[in-house]
Amino acid sequence: MGAYVVRRLLWLPVVLFLVSFGTFALARFGPGDPVSVTAGQVRDPKVLDQIRKDRGLDSNVVVQYVRWLEKAVQGDFGESYLQKGFSVSELIFPRMWISAQLGLIALVIIFAVGIPTGLLAARFAGSWIDPAIIGTLLFLQAIPVLVIIPPLIWLFGVQLDWLPVGGWDGVFDIWWVAGVIAIPIPDPHLYIPLVAFTLPGFVSVARLVRVSALEVNLEDFVRTARAKGLSEAAVQFRHVLPNSLLPLITVVGFALAGVIEGALFVETLLGINGIGRFTFEAVVSRDYDVILATTVIFAAAFVLMNLLAEIAYGFVDPRVRIGSSRG
């Protein structure tokens, strides 16, 4: 097991190296080179040369990359080309914290809703309820986030005036009862983004739970549980559910991918100052060092999550480790 984990972990730096070098080369290759982005309106060749020297952009790509890498491994991702005087890290990390909170809550909701719905569908397999549940979830997945957000803002933010139309104000609000007792409640800014994040995610979780619950339902120990007179609820929750959850570990990666990519649109459309919106703006304004840093961090989070899922799966299901001996 130890060797397996180590082998999987060794893979991480390789991927990160390839990604960062690819991104780096793309960024240096792109239009509106970093020098002119930094210079803004200035077109004096002397100034441009000075910027090029200061930023170390006068050497070749490989040398520049090595220089960047040396600093990046120490957590220094350079200085923003656009917001001068700010280091990329200092711009990125507060925003990442916002996105991470949102994404984590979204993930929890996806699983909290997806698992029971999947069990429900499996319970009613053979009747119209099962395909109706899965069909509805598939439909929710088919609606692009881009399409669903404006009507949500319009309905709840403008027409009904129940929720703020966008922005971010922390996860919790304090609700004072009689001015003495403080009860933390979710901040109203959370609802619309969470709906947008979670709707497309339910179906993959629910389906996986459904399929594996259907298989588990046929096992001998479930029949035994029923035969000894346990209630259906006890059978489902004590015996079927725990044994259906195993494959779910593999979807954590997918669900996270959905949340990370969804952040680009949800945050942009809702004016949430997270990493997704920041990346969007950096791409639009070609702030290359920011793009580089966010891409590498996104990729790192992604690869790491998938690795953790795989390792966790290897722990709980020894059969996977045998399969892994190929690579």
Partner 1 sequence: MTASAAAEGAPRPVVAGTSEWRIVLGRLRRKRLAMISLVIISVIYGAGILAPLLAPYPPTQTNLDRPVEGPSRDHLLGTDRLGRDELSRAMYASRTTLIVTTAVVLSGGLFIGNTLGLLAGYRGGWVDTLIMRVGDVFSSLPSLVMLILINATLGPRVIGWTRWVEGHTPFDGLVASGFPSYMLVFSALSLFFWVGTARVIRAQVLQLRERDYIMAAESLGASPRRVILQHLMPNVSFLIILSLSATLGGIAGSEIVLTWFGVGVQPPAASFGAMLFEGSGTRTFQASPHLLLVPGVIVTLLLFAFALLGDALNDAIRGR
Cα–Cα–Cα angle for 217, 222, 226, rounded to 5 degrees: 115
* Shortest distance in whole angstroms from residue 73 CB to partner 1: 20
- Of the candidate spans 102-110, 178-186, 210-218, 296-304, the one that interacts with partner 1 by CB under 8 A turns out to be 296-304
Distance separating alpha carbons of residues 241 and 244, to the nearest angstrom: 5
- Of the candidate spans 55-63, 77-85, 186-194, 300-308, the one that interacts with partner 1 by CB under 8 A turns out to be 300-308
Helices (H), the chain: 2-29, 34-39, 45-54, 61-72, 88-123, 129-142, 145-152, 191-198, 202-217, 220-227, 232-234, 241-244, 248-270, 275-285, 288-316, 319-324
Number of residues this chain uses to bind partner 1 (CB under 8 A): 47
Cα–Cα–Cα angle for 164, 165, 167, rounded to 5 degrees: 80
Site membership for partner 1, residue 217 (CB under 8 A): no
Question: Exactly one of 36, 83, 141, 324 binds partner 1 (CB under 8 A); which one?
Answer: 141
282: Cβ contacts below 8 Å, ≥ 6 apart: 82, 290, 291, 294
- Of the candidate spans 72-80, 81-89, 181-189, 283-291, the one that interacts with partner 1 by CB under 8 A turns out to be 283-291
Site membership for partner 1, residue 320 (CB under 8 A): no
Asked if 266 and 276 count as a contact pair (C-beta separation under 8 A), the reply is yes
Site membership for partner 1, residue 146 (CB under 8 A): yes
Asked if 167 and 272 count as a contact pair (C-beta separation under 8 A), the reply is yes
- Closest to partner 1 by CB, 191 vs 302, is 302
Which residues here bind partner 1, judged by CB under 8 A?
11, 15, 18-19, 23, 26-27, 29-31, 135, 138-139, 141-144, 146-147, 149-151, 153-154, 157-158, 165, 257, 260-261, 264-265, 269, 279-280, 283-284, 286, 291, 294-295, 298-299, 302-303, 306, 327
